């Protein structure tokens, strides 16, 4: 009830007369207003960080890399660096061969049939178009 009085500006009597649905609407309104306030603050911070970056770049030593605004003050809308390293196609094929064994052939065609747990899977040959048999 204290939150309803403080955050939503309701009197205790108004709070106790609300339905659950009406109270959830007050919560949604507060969350939306809070997100808007945070977004406005970040826009203001983005302006300041550009100014700070210009000052830092003017004072940096020759031969050093220039600063970027994201380095000084990171904000929520900045691009995050990708966590997953880039893997080449050859590395993927090597890993697949290690896991699947020597029968794995990655030359653009799947000419072999594999048995997986008793179920027989037929794959089409890239050359003939017919189902390959083992």
What are the tens digits of pLDDT across the range 34-75?
A: 889 988 999 999 999 999 999 999 999 999 999 999 888 888
φ/ψ of residue 113, rounded to 5: -110, 140
pLDDT band at 109 (very low <50, low <70, confident <90, very high): low
Per mean pLDDT, which range of 9-13, 46-50, 58-62, 130-134 is the poorest?
130-134
Task: Name the 3-class secondary structure at 116.
Answer: strand
Q: Which residue has the higher pLDDT, 18 or 98?
A: 18
Task: Name the 3-class secondary structure at 86.
Answer: coil
> Is the confidence at residue 119, as pLDDT, over 50?
no
Q: What is the mean pLDDT of residues 112-122?
A: 48
**Greatest pairwise CA separation for the chain in angstroms:** 80
Q: Would you say the C-alpha torsion 59, 74, 45, 69 has a positive or negative sign?
A: positive
> Is the confidence at residue 120, as pLDDT, over 90?
no
Alpha helices in the chain (DSSP H): 2-7, 12-16, 20-59, 69-72, 89-100
Mean pLDDT of the chain: 78
For the entire predicted model, the pTM comes to 0.43
Which of 133, 9, 74, 124 is closest to 1 using CA atoms?
9
């Amino acid at each position: 009830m204290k939150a309803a009085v403080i955050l939503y500006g309701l009197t205790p009597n108004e709070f106790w007369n609300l339905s659950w649905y009406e109270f959830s609407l007050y919560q949604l309104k507060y969350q939306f207003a809070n997100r808007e306030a945070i977004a406005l603050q970040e826009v203001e911070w983005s302006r300041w960080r550009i100014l700070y970056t210009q000052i830092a770049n003017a004072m940096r030593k020759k031969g050093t890399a220039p600063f970027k605004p994201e380095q000084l003050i990171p904000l929520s809308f900045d691009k995050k660096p990708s966590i997953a390293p880039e893997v080449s196609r050859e590395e993927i094929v090597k890993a697949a061969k290690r896991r699947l064994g020597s029968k794995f052939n990655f030359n653009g065609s799947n000419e072999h049939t594999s048995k997986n747990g008793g179920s027989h899977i037929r794959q089409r040959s890239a050359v003939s178009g017919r189902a390959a048999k083992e």
